[in-house]
């Protein structure tokens, strides 16, 4: 699998995550995304904190 394949897959998953948060009416408070090439392969770090808003009572 080439780096282009991985980049395309990560881009697609990112779109899915954004759609899910929008559907949940969530606010993405903080996020971190990094990619590191290593001898063994590619290391991807994804960290996100989102606030899921309560429904009015």
Contact 45, 34 (CB under 8 A): yes
Q: Residue 55 pLDDT > 80, yes or no? A: no
Across 23-27, 37-41, 44-48, 52-56, least confident range: 52-56
pTM of the predicted protein model = 0.58
**What DSSP letter does each residue of 16-36 carry, written as one string?**
HHHHHHHHTTEEEEEEEEEEE
What are the boundaries of each domain within the chain? 3-52
**φ, ψ of residue 22 in degrees (nearest 5):** -65, -45
**Residue with the larger pLDDT of the pair 46 and 56:** 46
Q: Residue 1 pLDDT > 60, yes or no? A: no
Q: Cβ of 55: how many Cβ atoms within 10 Å?
A: 5
**φ, ψ of residue 37 in degrees (nearest 5):** -80, 130
């Amino acid at each position: 699998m080439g780096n282009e394949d991985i980049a395309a897959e990560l881009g697609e998953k990112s779109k899915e995550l954004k759609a899910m948060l929008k559907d949940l009416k969530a606010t993405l408070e903080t996020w971190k995304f990094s990619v590191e090439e290593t001898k063994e392969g590619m290391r991807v770090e994804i960290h996100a904190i989102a606030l899921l808003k309560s429904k009015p009572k």
